[in-house]
Structure 1
């Protein structure tokens, strides 16, 4: 299977999406992204079954979810840079293989420690897979095709968060909780085969003496400490010495990392990447927005199961309309990018999501799905689809090919840190409110609902703040992509369309 050479070296021409090979390539990369994103949420609904089967304590159960987020976020920057340096196909295959083996181990786990270890390994595999896949997308597709491809990727990213909860409920109450992990195996096997068929070998052998090993150690240690401290903060206490020391240590390590990068001849994170207009603002928008969105799914799931008494499968199926809403919104948003640009779509999307979560923050203790959940969920879904499509495009616009993996890792690290931050901060708010209510002898269902209401209100405010930050992003309609496409056509002696 061959294709003409191209400036990016991946065998794609400026009209790649119009070919069968191009469509298969996009489908493969988005499937890999879906796997990584969905595994951050698919275990949520299955947690009660996992606890009963493997005798998890209440304290250790959180690591089934948090363990994945910890290594996923902690190793993301290193994974993205490795893809740029050693070859994207090589890193993608290695990450997918590790992800598959970890999923198999977790699905067959006979102890709580074995499952947590598998989830930690899964996160490392995902941290290799995702930036490699996104950088392959941005370097394979050129011109307006890249904008279309990024739009599809963003839609898949938004959809996966909702589909994960749906699949988790259906699988855990159907064939059993182990299948939320074992379902990954056939997909990973097919993905690895397709990667070899669709992508040329781009392996590189960089001079190891020129690698920024100090930077890799500082960034990975700093990110791991930051995410770990955020995950543990609700249990330990935000004002405790352990939490303050952890946050201070993480900030110190990352500050030393930045100083190291500024002085290094071959930095792991070239600081020049932040000169790309709007890139930093897009990453911060992702971080803040995800903090509100991931927490929203978490608290809604708890509300449906612990207050309304929904079963696992009913909880999962309740997210089905939201999944359709995200898909529709992503398609509409992709079409709008070329007309109005990324910034308006991002801002309006964040405000819609904020409004939807605000609606949900008013859920009563005796709420109904149609009156109290569905309207807010659909409004949030439309906003979610728009935000993911626009922020993914904005955060990769103008990035040179040799830094594509780095840009992808920055965007996805923002997502993982944002998710951990949101769960930590908003869980603390919910727990504090619930405990106050219980101390006042309010019935447990009402106390839980009061805590969820406060947390969801904070999520709404967080999404509104993301809209404000989005105002600082660059507003691209694909002008740079059109110039790139014209240059690519000239290099291939392909006449511009009349």
Structure 2
């Protein structure tokens, strides 16, 4: 990019692209973020095909999903700090390039170990690129209208990524081959990596040092937490399992040690001041709860549409298309409102609307129709989440110094990742409890009916027994799912109330860069 394409940003001494290039810069950041987020779900629909082609065991197959989550979630803090120290544009480009190469590597896999290694590398690339992407918005886009628009697109990509992943996963797997759920990232990632140095502004490298002990302890703590939660969400697992309890206990102990380490080093991986700020803490807490509700909704609703309502993978994926449209429109409106209305009111109302959307799914039944029972609440949920994501993304980075932008961005991404793991694990427990309870209740009633029929000489045949058993399973799954949605709605409502009560950032404070300014609140 030539000097004629740049303008000086006097508040921090950096140069920013002129408006003609801001659109290209936004596309580059948005494509990278969308690619990273959708990869958490794009392979889910392909899992049965992967299991057959690579001869995965049933217990080993879940590592295709878990390996990415573990690598991504545990390395985010390190990735954000490396961006602060070595340049965020550089880390963004390197992370996206690693992600693209890892996707090619995974798509060519010939055995389970090969594919899981590719997923770990994908997560590592994402952990470098994702916090840098958010931090680069502050560097590249001037505060006010331009930055709000960029945040709206970034938040929309974060919100629709899971839905787009389900759609693409279904289409690519059903129409081409499961390997294309990996190959599709390669051209996109390489184009983004090539364009990034040309349209994005590099941050000033920090003269600090990498907090090695903080990186080791923090990464190990996050790894343990995500592993424990992921294990709790597995079929047949429970919160009392040793592989759930021990990693969670170790993770909490390591994160406590991490806080102590960060208070004693000169250049901490995650400065305590970043999360100690009340407004930022509320934003991160709410985003964690929203992530828990959203990711668990996609998980359970995609299973419900396919297993109970009988949707094909492609039909199930496209069922979420209105969600993608709704959240883009809602995020655009919220980006306009945030310059005139304090973020607590936008995000608070958005949280209440999202709660209503999740509550709607508690009324699902085996005979639910798409237009009557699914579509309205998918749209309501999308509108609410769009209103939540924009102000909270802004307030989570508001008032942060330039040297801490990467750390703040990684904290936000970590909150969302941990929230997703917490949500799926917690709602799996709720689902299992209520599904088992309903299954036992219906099973006992069916046995009583069968015994009465046998006494009257009407013994059911094998096909009738199989059909009755299948109906009991579907009814139990529906009962468990609707109770899970109650808990998801409750988590989002708690986040909405926390925002309304404790968030105290004025909309006028979001219209300035705040680089080097005092922390808000």
| TM-score normalised by structure 2 residue count | 0.88
1:360-371 mapped onto 2 (5 Å cutoff): 360-371=361-372
Secondary structure of residue in 2 paired with 1:238: coil
Instruction: Tell me, yes or no, if structure 1 residue 475 matches structure 2 residue 505.
Output: yes
Question: Match of 1:4, SS?
Answer: strand
- Deviations, residues 393-414 of structure 1 (Å, cap 9, x unaligned): 1111111111110110000000
Gaps of at least 5 residues in structure 1 are: 488-498
Once superposed, what is the RMSD of the aligned Cα atoms?
2.0
Tell me what 1:85 maps to. Answer: 85
Residue 105 and residue 273 in structure 1: after superposition, are their counterparts in 2 closer, same or farther (change >3 A)?
same
3-state SS of paired residue (1:340): coil
User: What per-residue deviation string (whole Å, max 9, x for no partner) do you get for residues 292-324 of structure 1?
Assistant: 110000101000111111111111111111211
- Higher Rg of the two aligned structures: 2
TM-score (ref. length: structure 1): 0.92
**What is the alpha-carbon distance in structure 2 between the residues aligned to residue 105 and residue 203 of structure 1?**
33
Q: Does residue 33 of structure 2 align to residue 4 of structure 1?
A: no
Q: Deviations over 1:334-371 (max 9, x none)?
A: 11111212111111111111111111121101221111
Deviation at 1:52, TM superposition (A): 2.8
Q: Secondary structure at the match of 2:400?
A: coil
Over 3 Å counting, the alpha-carbon distance change for 1:331 and 1:480 in structure 2 is closer
CA contact (8 A) 2:94 2:193 kept: no
Q: Which residue in 2 is equivalent to 1:496?
A: none
Give 1:61 shift: 2.1
Contact 1:282 1:395 in 2 (8 A): yes
* Counterpart position of 1:493: none
Q: Is the 8 A contact 2:206 2:403 kept in 1?
A: no
Distance in 1 separating the partners of 2:327 and 2:61: 30
Paired residues of 1:357 and 1:457 also in contact (CA < 8 A): yes
Query: What is residue 356 of structure 1 aligned with on the other side?
Result: 357
Q: Structure 1 292/202 Cα, relative in aligned 2: closer, same or farther at 3 Å?
A: closer
CA contact (8 A) 1:276 1:399 kept: no
Partner of 1:117: 117
Do 1:141 and 1:149's aligned partners in 2 also have CA atoms closer than 8 Å?
yes
**SS of the residue 2:43 aligns to:** coil
SS at match of 1:5: strand
Tell me, in whole angstroms, the C-alpha distance in 1 between the residues paired with 2:303 and 2:275: 39
* Separation (CA, whole Å) in 2 of partners of 1:201 and 1:387: 29
Report the secondary structure of 2:405's partner residue: helix
- Kindly report which structure 2 residues correspond to 1:218-229, keeping only aligned pairs within 5 A, or say none: 218-229=217-228
Q: CA deviation at 1:9?
A: 4.6
Q: Secondary structure at the match of 1:422?
A: helix
Aligned length in residues: 480
Distance 1:400 1:227 in 2: 29
Give the superposition deviation at 1:53: 2.5
1:217-256 aligned within 5 A:
217-235=216-234, 236-256=237-257
Contact 1:356 1:379 in 2 (8 A): yes
CA distance in 2, matches of 1:106, 1:45: 16
SS of the residue corresponding to residue 44 of structure 2 reads: coil
Is the aligned partner of 1:434 residue 2:435? yes
CA distance in 2, matches of 1:473, 1:205: 30
